[in-house]
Structure 1
């Protein structure tokens, strides 16, 4: 009898763990894009999902990837990882990562541009955009 209760408890706890894992993964879905990948005409996301954009960048040239305008529906995180280089090397590029976490429902346009901050009237060197509806 004790072994049956123990077995039932184990099966139940495994089942609850499986349900918990699948619901957590649904909220943490990440949509990955790079400069060579265009966003669909309208990307539909859920609150809690993530859009990640990775792009090569070399800040020593003055050019940097930046958001064209602040976002209202997303929490935005930016990181930069320089490529490995020999000691003393300067001007080494790397990769910039933008991570956009959907915070609330609505529709928004993410526009990223590759510009020099002091060249305000010049057309962007490169740009990437994605229109998103968050449900």
Structure 2
């Protein structure tokens, strides 16, 4: 019983909530270092979840280029993985992002964003 309560509390902490308006463009960011083999991926939403948002851009930005856009990219430098979305229509859905090595079969716990569009 105590374990179940702990699991529910832990899963509740992993839920992030965002509220946006139709037409808004916004970015969700995660710390990243793709040279380790790990990358962030958006899990394909189920049902009509994908209808409320459009993925505009999915990119990695090196922390070196954040400080100086003219600096050469350094192999192995950490940075930020950015997912930029445009809100298309009203609704609420959960979107899951996973930090994984694409060739590995284990399923890591996702970061879940509950996004409401007004």
- TM-score if structure 1 supplies the norm length? 0.58
**CA 1:88–1:106 in structure 2 vs 1: closer, same or farther (change >3 Å)?**
closer
Unaligned stretches of 5+ in structure 1? 1-36
| Pair 1:50 & 2:35 matched | no
Cα distance in 1 for partners of 2:23, 2:110 equals 25
Superposition deviation, residue 83 in structure 1:
2.4
Cα distance in 2 for partners of 1:133, 1:87 equals 39
Summarize the alignment of residues 36-47 of structure 1 with structure 2, pairs less than 5 Å apart.
39-40=16-17, 43-47=18-22
Unaligned stretches of 5+ in structure 2? 1-13, 66-70
Superposition deviation, residue 88 in structure 1:
8.8
**CA 1:58–1:88 in structure 2 vs 1: closer, same or farther (change >3 Å)?**
closer
> Residue in 1 aligned with 2:104?
119
Q: Deviations along 1:52-75, whole A, 9 cap, x unmatched?
A: 211111111111011011432211
> Residue in 2 aligned with 1:78?
58
> Residue in 1 aligned with 2:115?
132
- TM-score if structure 2 supplies the norm length? 0.65
Cα distance in 2 for partners of 1:134, 1:87 equals 39
Summarize the alignment of residues 1-135 of structure 1 with structure 2, pairs less than 5 Å apart.
39-40=16-17, 43-70=18-45, 71-76=50-55, 77-84=57-64, 89-120=74-105, 122-124=106-108, 127-135=110-118
Aligned length: 96
